[in-house]
């Protein structure tokens, strides 16, 4: 039987922007996915979120599974709780 197959290569990078949340008011966030980090060939996912209460910056780099099915990751997160509502200390 004849079979006709087609494949397409996925995007190397993807950006997602979001603007409003009902819980905290106005929020701007950017999500970035890079499916093949140069020199590593790992996948990187990064997020920047700016809002009044809890700004956030995070990233996670994940390897492809190896021959035994294990994959590895490195990640980091920087967050400030109650950024605008905390009084300054002297």
The pLDDT tens digits for 31-43 are 999 999 889 889 9
pLDDT of residue 15: 81
Distance CA 40, CA 62 (A): 10
Order of all β-strands in the sheet with 13-21: 13-21, 25-34, 43-51, 56-62, 73-79
Torsion of CA 61, 77, 45, 23, to 10 degrees: 160
First to last CA, the chain: 79
Confidence class for position 21, pLDDT limits 50, 70, 90: low
The pLDDT tens digits for 38-89 are 898 899 999 998 887 788 999 999 999 999 999 999 999 998 876 555 555 5
Which pTM was predicted?
Answer: 0.70
Distance CA 10, CA 82 (A): 39
- Spell out the domain ranges in the chain: 13-79
Reduce the DSSP state of residue 49 to 3 states and report it: strand
């Amino acid at each position: 039987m004849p079979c006709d197959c087609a494949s397409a290569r996925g995007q190397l990078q993807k950006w997602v922007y979001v603007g409003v949340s009902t819980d905290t008011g106005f929020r701007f966030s950017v999500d970035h996915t890079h499916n093949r980090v140069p020199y590593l060939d790992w996948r990187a996912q990064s997020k920047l979120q700016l809002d009044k209460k809890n700004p956030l910056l995070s990233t996670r780099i994940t390897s492809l599974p190896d021959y035994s099915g294990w994959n590895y990751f490195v990640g980091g997160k920087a967050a400030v709780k109650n950024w605008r509502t905390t009084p300054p200390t002297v």
